[in-house]
Amino acid sequence: MPTILVLNGPNLNLLGQREPHLYGSETLADVEALCTRKAAAEGFKSKFHQSNREYELIDWIHAARGTMAGIVINPAAFTHTSVAILDALNAYEGPVVEVHISNVHKREAFRHHSYVSARADAVIVGAGIQGYGFAVERVAHLAHALRGPK
């Protein structure tokens, strides 16, 4: 079965434990369960990772080339700093959807720019963890379209 890769950047392992006013009270395990359910409903498996290390996220993106049907990524703070993650995504051939739990545009000015958005096929911000579900659905739709009619 084709697989959607879901990547999460630094500090998202703390989801549900701190800052519920910004990121809600659900945990990263809840996000993973949501992605698994949404992917299955679209006929996909999902593979879910979180890392606090930039190189690890880059290595997962490299490994997705030719193996993953699409990528959903919340690069967290690397969104605003990482040309390296943008370069890795530019070398990936499939659909990419960027997701942010909070509405970054209502927050500090330094969160308003995303390097990753220059590559993303869609960007979902401010929908809470529900945004991951939308992102998985969109990647599945784009992946189906790329594969064409059966």
Where on the chain is the footprint of ligand CA2 (CB under 6 A)?
11-12, 14-15, 18-19, 23, 74, 76-77, 79, 100-102, 104, 111
Largest CA distance in the chain: 46
Q: What is the strand order of the sheet 70-74 is part of?
A: 45-50, 3-8, 70-74, 96-100, 122-125
Confirm whether 105 is a catalytic residue. no
Q: Which is nearer to ligand CA2, 2 or 77 (CB)?
A: 77
Shortest Cβ 74–ligand CA2 spacing (Å): 5
Confirm whether 115 is a catalytic residue. no
Of 92, 100, 132, 144, catalytic: 100
Q: Which is nearer to ligand CA2, 34 or 101 (CB)?
A: 101
Helices (H), 82-129: 83-90
Active site residues: 23, 100
